[in-house]
Structure 1
């Protein structure tokens, strides 16, 4: 999931917007906004290097 957020940041942002508007979460145990924040700070793999 972290790699997906890195490769498709605009799609991840769209999911975050849908979560906010509808009040739903990406998964029951965490929200996509948390995943986006974690991907930016945890040293997730560089999407260009993971190929």
Structure 2
């Protein structure tokens, strides 16, 4: 599990880091661009709501 411990005001940093890592891992595994794009949208929607 990957988490981000930054405050909500720094959500963009967490979103960028989580998205980068996901794309790095899944891109190497052969995930399609469509899958990567969908995951990026989901990370963008999920992360800010979970930061304090």
TM-score, length basis structure 2? 0.34
Flag the structure with more relative contact order, 1 or 2, with Cα contacts below 8 A and sequence separation at least 6: 2
Looking at secondary structure, tell me which structure has more helix per residue. Answer: 2
TM-score, length basis structure 1? 0.35
